[in-house]
């Protein structure tokens, strides 16, 4: 009996399972996409993960995959993928988080979208983000994107829609981008693997100035293997089998980059759990605290403000049409630029210092908490004050931003659950070129302590087990 005769749906399967099934003829790409579109239609009304779903267009793309004579070289053959709404997809507007900053219909795909399609992926739709990608929660006047683990909580931001979609099984993997934690924060909120590659590994071409070089494209996934395949495709590489790393020295730090903000007990415990997993895998751990200068925080804030100002200036958007929190953010960005507080020399100095950290402490990787606290409530952040948004973001998610400033690769991986049932994760940071090493260590975590691939209650169909 053929596999397609006994499997009711491919929703819930991994990207690698789907691609393998399509390549060997167990299922058509058209059927896989139809299954996922049905699931989106059933579930996304409560999650608001998607800004737009490409129903008919996605089916047509899937049919073209099925018509290809040779699928052997398509690592994502027939895999439904979501793209973050600030990244151009041909035939769709680029929303950038709100109607106020939406651009006209894109005539061509962004390079990372082109690479996904070239690998056989089918673009199911585009996922929601906060206005201009500025915030660690995802909502606007049309609705709040919700965390599948707890619908009262945010899935994080700015790739919040992507994380919600993957966590609920709407797609097996999703594209995101990360300027100050926008892949890793949602991955931590939703129990996913989220990798921010190092600077220059994946073509960015995002907005006016790539957020002064802080932003990178990456993927969110439920398994390390899927994250590795997604990374390879975006980086223009052939996927390769991850090799379990030999004995490493891993620095462990709870130190917060933000003075006065400390991780809560579940996030401290997550680092302890991760340390035990590292030891069980044969690695050595030692205390190694990065020194986060006060000036770094001020430079990071100034760059965050200025990135929004540059983006809006380049787009010609009327500032009065933006959300109140965004207008205040942009005004501060104008001020920071006038005062000369956004300097490439400062970012280069921090990058050199960060790279030197590994040699100075004799460590291969750094382990930190992924978050400092619980993901905030989901409702109404786009209507709240700039100050409220800023303080909430900084307090619950301070650990990601320094590594964007340094341009170093960083990865978030789940390691358990909080007492309230939400997932809890840790962050691994490495020197330039260590993306596969980070994934390899995450794979050791996954093997030793597997995590739930989806939020409880999702997907709401029988799971595929090819």
Q: Which residues are designated catalytic?
A: 84, 158, 182
- The dihedral through the CA atoms of 243, 249, 252, 258 has a sign that is negative
Q: Which residues pair with 174 in a beta bridge?
A: 82, 220
Query: Residue 375 is encoded by which pair of tokens?
Result: 């993901």
- Residue 366: in which H helix or E strand, if any? strand 365-369
**Gap between the Cα atoms of 306 and 412, Å rounded:** 27
Residue entry with tokens 């990207």: 15
The full DSSP string for 387-451 is: HHHHHHHHHH--SSHHHHHHT--EEEEEEEE-TTS-EEEEEEE-STT-HHHHHHHHHHHHHHS--
Assess contact for 145 and 139: CB atoms under 8 A. Answer: yes
Q: How far is CA 399 from the centre of its chain?
A: 15
Strand, coil or helix: 368: strand
Q: 311, 388, 51: which is closest to 319 by C-alpha?
A: 311
**Gap between the Cα atoms of 128 and 47, Å rounded:** 10
The full DSSP string for 97-164 is: TSGGGPPPPPSS--HHHHHHHHTT-EEEEEE---GGG--SS-EETTEE--BTTBTTB---SSSHHHHH
């Amino acid at each position: 009996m053929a596999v397609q005769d006994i499997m009711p749906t491919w929703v819930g399967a991994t990207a690698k399972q789907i691609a393998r099934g399509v390549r060997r003829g167990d299922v058509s790409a058209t059927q896989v996409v139809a299954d996922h579109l049905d699931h989106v239609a059933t579930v996304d009304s409560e999650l608001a993960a998607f800004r737009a779903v490409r129903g008919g267009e996605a089916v047509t793309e899937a049919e073209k995959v099925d018509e290809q004579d040779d699928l052997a070289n398509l690592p994502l053959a027939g895999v439904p993928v979501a793209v973050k709404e600030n990244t151009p997809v041909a035939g769709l507007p680029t929303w950038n988080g709100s109607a106020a900053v939406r651009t006209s219909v894109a005539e061509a795909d962004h390079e990372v979208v082109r690479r996904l399609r070239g690998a056989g992926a089918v673009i199911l739709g585009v996922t929601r983000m906060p206005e201009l990608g500025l915030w660690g929660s995802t909502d606007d006047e049309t609705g709040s994107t919700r965390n599948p683990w707890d619908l009262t909580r945010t899935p994080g931001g700015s790739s919040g829609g992507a994380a919600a979609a993957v966590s609920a099984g709407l797609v097996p993997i999703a594209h995101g981008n990360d300027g100050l934690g926008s892949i890793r924060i949602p991955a931590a909120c939703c129990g996913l693997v989220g990798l921010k590659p190092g600077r220059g590994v994946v073509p960015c071409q995002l907005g006016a100035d790539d957020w002064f070089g802080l932003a990178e494209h990456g993927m969110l996934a439920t398994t390390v293997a899927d994250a590795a395949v997604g990374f390879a495709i975006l980086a223009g590489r052939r996927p390769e089998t991850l090799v379990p790393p030999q004995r490493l020295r891993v620095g462990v730090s709870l130190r917060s980059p933000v003075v006065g903000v400390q991780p809560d007990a579940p996030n401290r415990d997550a680092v302890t759990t991760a340390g035990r997993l590292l030891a069980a895998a044969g690695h050595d751990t030692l205390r190694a605290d990065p020194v986060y200068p006060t000036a770094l925080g001020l430079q990071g804030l100034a760059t965050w403000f200025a990135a929004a100002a540059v983006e809006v200036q380049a787009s010609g958007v009327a500032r009065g049409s933006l959300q109140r929190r965004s207008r205040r953010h942009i005004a501060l960005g104008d001020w920071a630029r006038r005062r000369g507080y956004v300097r490439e020399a400062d970012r280069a100095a921090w990058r050199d210092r960060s790279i030197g950290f590994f040699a100075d402490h004799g460590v291969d990787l750094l382990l930190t908490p992924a978050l400092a606290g619980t993901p905030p409530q989901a409702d109404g952040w786009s209507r709240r004050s700039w100050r409220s948004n800023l303080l909430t973001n900084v307090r619950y998610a301070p650990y990601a931003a320094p590594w964007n400033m340094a341009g170093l690769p960083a990865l978030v991986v789940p390691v358990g659950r909080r007492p309230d049932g939400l997932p809890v994760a840790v962050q691994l940071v490495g020197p330039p070129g260590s993306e596969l090493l980070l994934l390899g260590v995450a794979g050791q975590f996954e093997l030793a302590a597997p995590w739930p691939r989806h939020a409880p209650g999702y997907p709401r169909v029988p799971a595929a087990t090819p």
